[in-house]
Structure 1
């Protein structure tokens, strides 16, 4: 029998390790050969490490990032630290900090309002003036406010939260416009017009919803593929890309029907997925970025636990957040060769 929390923790850890081992076996067998892994400085690497930017006094897991392109300021949600750091990319250093947060997870930037949006594990969504990081508004969604997306059509702020919901917020008034009810907690989600494609790993599904009509349109089962966290929309808008953690797999699906188009093994513990033209970038906590393009499938070594990042096409740059483990916490700034 179990004897208290320590033994229970060991049981959970052993189970997790077994699942990760299974994922590694399935991933290797799926591709038929060991993947090509290169260091960032290797000539064969499709990513070139330009610099690292220190995150002083940051401990614990780091979550999502956002960018103010005009002023070249990067915002980093530091989940375990309870902070959001502002990085001056021109100076290459942290220039300010929002502190006192409870598990900040999602972050976004509103160019028109010049405001930062932060969604946190306590269910709060807070808005800050970018000029001085002063809080200007706050909403409470319930619990576990997570990913933040900005609707390109109208500037609305969409936030995944709780046991199953996406809230739509008017950034001008900071008022809640609607709540879309989902069957489980939403992880990665993206928009094509009013259609939202949402990963719901708790239910082993991808949900398609209309955010204007505030209703679910379809539910696609992920079958034996589990833990679908990051999701992206392909440039054509006709397909979506989904990454699973068990097994570690990248899949392409038709956006209209959910039909599987292709799949391949990828790096483990993925939490972010970006498109650079026709190149797919999978950011993984296993300490790799998988770069997939026509005739190219390379994994670039990063740092243990570095599973979140942000690709900024205007800067031709991929930022990867490396937590404090082997080395102090930092943002790794990569250029994508040939982009």
Structure 2
């Protein structure tokens, strides 16, 4: 009996660290950086790795907040943008910041002085009544081209969006690719081929674009993802990670992560996920997918193999914290939380409402 008890105790002691290892969260919160005096939603940020700066578009406030990551504070705000900033990119070779705006322009700024360098009209032949609205984008470092998803009038059926192209090297408008959908959302670029993948929110498809021909060469249905909005890519294993909402808006959970073969559009796997997706990022080194939603968390998925994915768990972020940035070089994950009101019943009534200012939550990426 003692022998069996000793074996049982030994196995139990061994199982404790194994269980702890299994439930260890993939991200560890280590810092909070205040974003004072910033109202409303944020959108897609960028990072200067060498200079340790984070560039955060204040979507509602029409600013770009510059955060010094070493000092842990805002050091500058770019104001007077005239439109809602959506996707920020940082180009280290030229030390420039580029951003597309909801008023149909794209602006370039010096990352030294933060002064405006270029103001480029997107879709220049489109009249104001077309109600076009740029949103997300992606940068090709090999060519210096900035590809921007430009929405059509989403209040009308049958309107068409486009991919607008900006040449950041020359600071010029470089052309347009028409899409049979008015809601281009997430974009992913394959560095090994001319392919650009675009999630189409209105028709729930992936448009495959040949960047050299500047033409759509295929369209694939997104089965299991009714309202796709974000896109990540594993270029090595040819997998697309499509983040989909299940209902319009930011409030519904679960969402869906649809895994698609990037060669032929075949659906590989559909898994439940965090809701209200706005960012999906894949890290090749760890083979993890970071799925950021507006329902209060980021969910991290592990690639078991190219055809199978399992959740490592969700990590709390904040209310309607819809955008984020994974920076593998710094082993950091940044979640941007907007200013919001917290209601805490019961009475006293004077203490029911608490206002939390906007902030950046900084996480260390755990192995």
TM-score range for the pair, normalised by the shorter chain length: 0.7 to 0.9
Of 274, 278, 294, which aligns to 1:271? 278
RMSD of aligned C-alpha atoms? 1.6
Residue 202 of structure 2 aligns to a residue whose secondary structure is helix
Deviations for 1:276-335, whole angstroms, at most 9, x for unmatched residues? 231111001001100111465301111110011111111111111101114210111111
Cross-structure match for 1:205: 205
* TM-score, normalisation: structure 1: 0.84
Cross-structure match for 1:330: 359
Cross-structure match for 1:281: 290
* TM-score, normalisation: structure 2: 0.78
Cross-structure match for 1:194: 194
Number of aligned positions between the proteins: 297
- Compute the displacement of 1:241 (Å): 0.8
Cross-structure match for 1:182: 179
Deviations for 1:222-262, whole angstroms, at most 9, x for unmatched residues? 24521111111114141111111016111111101110111
Residue 314 of structure 1 aligns to a residue whose secondary structure is helix
Cross-structure match for 1:319: 334
How far apart, in 2, do the equivalents of 1:296 and 1:126 lie? 38
**Structure 2 spans left out of the alignment, 5+ residues:** 1-22, 124-131, 153-160, 247-253, 305-309, 343-355
Choose between structure 1 and 2 for higher RCO, CA contacts under 8 A separated by at least 6 residues.
Answer: 1
Of 169, 173, 186, which aligns to 1:172? 169
| 8 A Cα contact 1:180 1:211, kept in partner | no
- Compute the displacement of 1:146 (Å): 1.7
How far apart, in 2, do the equivalents of 1:138 and 1:250 lie? 36
Does 2:74 align with 1:94?
yes
How far apart, in 2, do the equivalents of 1:144 and 1:98 lie? 21
How far apart, in 2, do the equivalents of 1:302 and 1:182 lie? 34
How far apart, in 2, do the equivalents of 1:188 and 1:237 lie? 19
Residue 320 of structure 1 aligns to a residue whose secondary structure is strand
Cross-structure match for 2:346: none
How far apart, in 2, do the equivalents of 1:235 and 1:216 lie? 19
| 8 A Cα contact 1:290 1:300, kept in partner | yes
**Structure 1 spans left out of the alignment, 5+ residues:** 1-42
Structure 2 counterparts to residues 54-93 of structure 1, below 5 A: 54-93=34-73
| 8 A Cα contact 2:324 2:334, kept in partner | yes
How far apart, in 2, do the equivalents of 1:118 and 1:152 lie? 15
Residue 134 of structure 2 aligns to a residue whose secondary structure is coil
Residue 41 of structure 2 aligns to a residue whose secondary structure is coil
